[in-house]
Chain A
């Protein structure tokens, strides 16, 4: 593995990330104050949902590994957790969105009388802040419990002395044996809490940031659909980073074709699960044919939005489903990266089509320079946080008792696949 403190990307690249962030912020501010403000707001909203979701999904995937005591992907645990570095930034984005809620939320200017007890600014702002603080807090506590013994282990063995922020994280170090046990125990407690809080808080996010944008529409599966889609994006990102980490972070001993195969299978599974969540809503709404329910879908499947709607369906379900059936693709680093990228872009567009048609009342699809620049900006910040995390902390969960080299993967001696 790569030594702690080694840059995982060049300094120039990291400057580029910051630069992108600045450009994105400038584009957003220009849009809000001088341009078409609703387009700036919806760009920020979509990117908050997508990248904030990705940041949280990483922690959730790690928590899933912990809850299920799985062995296959332990080497990917840290790369998954690395997205959590973006959580504080996404909280800032949330605050910006909440500050401008009267500029973008349709129910502020056209209130729905029956729903005012739920859709009013003070309650909306309070529940979002509390919900996100709760989820983010548990998630960061979990990540802290995960990285702490690894930093300490390297520090203790003299391989890499912890400095700066990492030093703070190992305050009160009590020796590796005791720390390892504490870390496992508290991760075992925090992981289910992460998963439960994730489902509830992301349901709240879905209800408030996409369902309520069309205040007359409702669907009881909106929350479930939303957080499952987010996990699909999480697995796609994990696939991309697994391939990248293998080469860049010198983890070939730990991440072999079997690990990639497993990530590919899970990506395949979540692609189907997303389609199932979509279909469960679509079929019920179509068959029931009640105007207050069908309007949301009809608006997106007819007229200017139709091509985009079909593109999303193809990129998130049809193409990944067909392509990921092949074992060769799942085990090939390039193939897996390519299809995961298709899924990621598809998921970004899906978040866009959940949000934008409810806010935008002009002609056509508002996908232009503003949206592009804000997206590039948030992407830059996300990449900066992600790489910072990986060069600050050990890139493998060294102290994890379930960490194994790629050669210990059960498929390496499994009679079923021979």
Chain B
């Protein structure tokens, strides 16, 4: 790797890719189409096809919403928080993770719309003074959600775009096909002058600082959608930090799931190395330990509280109708990640890829368990029927969400530099400058 080859190596991803890429894209598009068809069917027929039945009026769609918002978080952690911590290894993976953030938030944003009975009135959620005489209830956490996620999407898009600017300009100067015009417009006349670089650097640091609190705030607000109620299993003070850790945990797993194939398809082995994956794995292990901590403490406090409703809900979670979901979730989120304590496993990309899939499944199930098992076991024993099980429509729309996510991601890496050229060079320059060996032994 040298300064001269970085541009060519990274911009190579913008040239016509191989068959593997198109196979992946086709698969993702098929999944997306199935989801779209299922959604049209649901919109025509009504919410009954989604299996909602009193008292379980939140189900798979809200699970998906929380899951995808969570996936987004690790991207911001890597691009903003690790930037502030001067963890330079982030450079190789930050761009892909940031793109994942934006795409995941966009995917998540569709679910409240899918979830409401009349999706064409979704804009009623937007809090603005209007002539229909509707006014929003600012004490509702659902409104906080709209603000939190709206802010998050806006900042993430701007942060991603800002980082891309110099790289788009590099693409503009290299690519000769029709996309050149698009790059020309998007690069906003970037020439790489001294002044432009100075402004760029200052702005990048500013955005990193602005995005950092969002990593914490967004999923906290999402957790409060649940914790603000007094429903056993939802009303818990640990929810905010626990959701944030879980979000980053699942997001890191998704980053690994995406990067392992991407590195192979685009031959980026010398840029995204095993060392990067090992660091991601360490972070994943840490967040897994935090999530495990939260599980244990939640169960303990449910017992310690002495409230029969709390105790009943948690007993039901373990041994009730949804026990299989809970135990799978514990295995995937608590048990399997413990393997990462072994360096041999952390540095084995195949093993890491498999573990990341387990974590993705486990974290999806976590949200499902929290939502469905608590709703099915509220204060009224007459409601403890546990009638809810996902229908084919919900499954198809979930599949469609994965299809949408992968489609957008694949299109992104094909059309924009998947690794930051700018930061790659910057990191190289710094490691050349700070020659560690030059300093004599302090004694």
- On whether the two chains bind one another, the answer is yes
* B-binding residues in A (CB < 8 A): 1, 68, 72, 112, 114-115, 118, 153-154, 157, 159, 196, 199-200, 203, 207, 218-224, 272, 276-277, 280-281, 283-285, 287-290, 292, 396, 398, 403-405, 408, 410, 413-417
- A112 lies within 8 A of B216 (CB): no
Question: CB-defined interface of B53-87 with A at 8 Å, one 1/0 digit per residue?
Answer: 00000000000000000000000000000000111
Nearest 9 pairs between A and B by C-beta? Answer: A114-B306, A220-B238, A280-B240, A221-B237, A281-B237, A220-B301, A221-B238, A219-B237, A287-B228
Quick one: which of B234-260 are within 8 Å of A by CB?
A: 235-241
- Residue B426 at the chain A interface, CB threshold 8 Å: yes
A172 to B416, CA, bound (A): 58
- A224 lies within 8 A of B241 (CB): yes
- B224 lies within 8 A of A284 (CB): yes
A285 to B238, CA, bound (A): 11
- B426 lies within 8 A of A403 (CB): no
Known A219-B237, A396-B442, A408-B439; contact A415-B297, beta-carbon cutoff 8 A: no
Quick one: which of B283-317 are within 8 Å of A by CB?
A: 289, 293-294, 297-298, 301, 304-306
- A277 lies within 8 A of B241 (CB): yes
The CB with the most chain A CB atoms within 10 A, among B202, B426, B443, is that of B443
Question: CB-defined interface of B313-335 with A at 8 Å, one 1/0 digit per residue?
Answer: 00000000000000000000000
- Residue B227 at the chain A interface, CB threshold 8 Å: yes
A284 to B434, CA, bound (A): 48
Known A220-B297, A405-B439, A415-B201; contact A280-B239, beta-carbon cutoff 8 A: yes
Interface CB pairs A-B, < 8 A, 7: A276-B240, A280-B239, A284-B224, A284-B237, A285-B237, A398-B442, A415-B201
Q: Which of A276, A404, A410 contacts B439 (CB 8 A)?
A: A404
- Residue B261 at the chain A interface, CB threshold 8 Å: no
A277 to B439, CA, bound (A): 42
Known A118-B304, A199-B293, A288-B230; contact A224-B439, beta-carbon cutoff 8 A: no
A289 to B228, CA, bound (A): 10
Q: Which of B227, B230, B238, B434 contacts A410 (CB 8 A)?
A: B434
A416 to B434, CA, bound (A): 16
Q: Which of B204, B237, B293, B434 contacts A413 (CB 8 A)?
A: B434
Query: Min CB distance, B133 to chain A, in Å?
Result: 27
- Residue B430 at the chain A interface, CB threshold 8 Å: yes
- Residue B356 at the chain A interface, CB threshold 8 Å: no
- Residue B220 at the chain A interface, CB threshold 8 Å: yes
Query: Min CB distance, A215 to chain B, in Å?
Result: 9
- B230 lies within 8 A of A154 (CB): no
Note all chain A residues with C-beta closer than 8 A to B195: none
Note all chain A residues with C-beta closer than 8 A to B439: 404-405, 408
Residue of A nearest to B311 (CB): A114
A218 to B236, CA, bound (A): 10
Note all chain B residues with C-beta closer than 8 A to A413: 430, 433-434
Note all chain B residues with C-beta closer than 8 A to A292: 305
- Residue B205 at the chain A interface, CB threshold 8 Å: yes
Using a Cβ cutoff of 8 Å, how many contacts connect chains A and B? 101
Known A284-B237, A290-B230, A416-B204; contact A218-B304, beta-carbon cutoff 8 A: yes
A200 to B434, CA, bound (A): 39
Note all chain A residues with C-beta closer than 8 A to B238: 220-221, 224, 280
Note all chain B residues with C-beta closer than 8 A to A159: 443
Note all chain A residues with C-beta closer than 8 A to B216: 276
- B235 lies within 8 A of A284 (CB): yes
Note all chain A residues with C-beta closer than 8 A to B434: 408, 410, 413
Note all chain B residues with C-beta closer than 8 A to A196: 289
- A220 lies within 8 A of B306 (CB): no
- A203 lies within 8 A of B297 (CB): yes
Query: Min CB distance, B98 to chain A, in Å?
Result: 18
A157 to B443, CA, bound (A): 8
- B442 lies within 8 A of A403 (CB): yes
Question: CB-defined interface of B2-38 with A at 8 Å, one 1/0 digit per residue?
Answer: 0000000000000000000000000000000000000
Known A219-B237, A413-B433; contact A283-B301, beta-carbon cutoff 8 A: no
Residue of A nearest to B302 (CB): A220
Note all chain A residues with C-beta closer than 8 A to B201: 415-416
Note all chain A residues with C-beta closer than 8 A to B239: 280, 284
Known A203-B297, A218-B301, A416-B205; contact A284-B443, beta-carbon cutoff 8 A: no
A72 to B434, CA, bound (A): 13
- A410 lies within 8 A of B86 (CB): yes
Query: Min CB distance, B173 to chain A, in Å?
Result: 22
A221 to B301, CA, bound (A): 10
- B237 lies within 8 A of A398 (CB): no
Note all chain A residues with C-beta closer than 8 A to B205: 416-417
A272 to B81, CA, bound (A): 14
Residue of B nearest to A413 (CB): B433
Given contacts A284-B227, A413-B430, 17 further A-B contacts (CB under 8 A): A1-B442, A114-B306, A115-B304, A157-B443, A218-B305, A219-B301, A220-B236, A220-B298, A224-B297, A276-B241, A283-B224, A287-B224, A288-B235, A290-B230, A292-B305, A404-B439, A416-B204
Q: Which of B235, B433, B443 contacts A398 (CB 8 A)?
A: B443
Quick one: which of B92-124 are within 8 Å of A by CB?
A: none
